[in-house]
Structure 1
Amino acid sequence: MNTEAPFIRAIKVEDNEQIAKVIRAVLIEFGVPKVGTAYEDKALENLYNAYREENTIYYVIEHQGKVIGGAGIAPLANYEGPVCEFQKMYFLPEARGLGLGSKLIEKCLLKARSFGFEHCYLETLPYMEAARALYKKNGFVSLNKPLGDTGHYSCNMWMLKEL
């Protein structure tokens, strides 16, 4: 019996197909609109390349050779200042409830600080209640309006954390 624990690592090119499937599966599970969200992001087909830009990183959670979740950070699009965006955190059901969300957030925020960012922004949806509770537990506070312009116009809840 393989009892290997899930672990967090930087994305590899061979993860592209798996992580795209994970993200789309979770979005469908939660009934998220396919337009104005990560579902239609062109970068989703090649996250490895998308996160090779300066001051970006994407991590996946691997368990027994399978990608079961991930999240990343990148500079906030269309915004001036030292603010990054916490992006594309999605977990398959088997990755939930294991404390991996907080570990992944912490890893991403440590990297964001090392890149020189002073704040971390994210966008989410009202019915992603568990995710919002996790963000709040990890120090994110709600905003009344969005920052920058990510193109995710269907995401109508915004949060920010000082790094």
Structure 2
Amino acid sequence: MIIRQLKISDNSILASIVKNTFTEHDAPKCGTVFSDPTTDDLFTLFKHKNSMLWVAEDQGEVLGCCGIYPTEGLPEGYAELVKFYLSPSARGKGVGTKLMQQNIESAKALGFHHIYLESLPHFATAVRMYKRFDFQPLDKPLGQSGHTSCNIWMVKAI
């Protein structure tokens, strides 16, 4: 398995992985990344300065992705952990851990000192992983992601 940067050819498979995850977990579609139009064109979204999207791939199969993005309205020095989704076949095999480690290193290299994230209780396994990586819960959201259905907010100093 390799962790590599996003390519334009990844757009459709990654959008499918993201949206299928919401359907699989019966998670809200409105007010989440599911209905966010940028999900269908991640390559364009991640051309933004100080952003990075990493893709996990194994023998030519895209397994999932995770990125760092300077979401509007975040405090200075904060980036958001975004688009962290894996195909069912990739879960429980350390792929998420490798993506998380890569994104923490990328955030540091880009000069960020905190990583913020938003999630849902439907993604309990992911939330447990965030806690293992020392993300701490917040009482309210930071920034203006537009993902108003998310009700879990966490932050980590790096």
Q: TM-score, normalised by structure 1?
A: 0.93
User: 5+ unaligned residues in a row in structure 2: which ranges?
Assistant: none
Corresponding pairs, count: 158
The CA distance in 1 between the partners of 2:6 and 2:41, in whole Å, is 10
Confirm or deny that 1:137 pairs with 2:132: yes
Partner residue in 2 for 1:79: 74
In structure 1, the residue corresponding to 2:122 is in which secondary structure?
coil
Partner residue in 1 for 2:61: 66
The CA distance in 2 between the partners of 1:55 and 1:126, in whole Å, is 29
Structure 1's consecutive aligned runs of 4 or more residues displaced over 2 angstroms after TM superposition are: none
Partner residue in 1 for 2:22: 27
Confirm or deny that 1:7 pairs with 2:2: yes
User: 5+ unaligned residues in a row in structure 1: which ranges?
Assistant: 1-5
In structure 2, the residue corresponding to 1:43 is in which secondary structure?
helix
State the identity %.
38
Partner residue in 2 for 1:90: 85
In structure 2, the residue corresponding to 1:150 is in which secondary structure?
coil
Confirm or deny that 1:120 pairs with 2:115: yes
The CA distance in 2 between the partners of 1:68 and 1:101, in whole Å, is 10
RMSD of Structure 2 on Structure 1 (CA): 1.0
Of 31, 38, 42 in structure 2, the residue corresponding to residue 36 of structure 1 is: 31
The CA distance in 1 between the partners of 2:105 and 2:132, in whole Å, is 16
Q: TM-score, normalised by structure 2?
A: 0.96
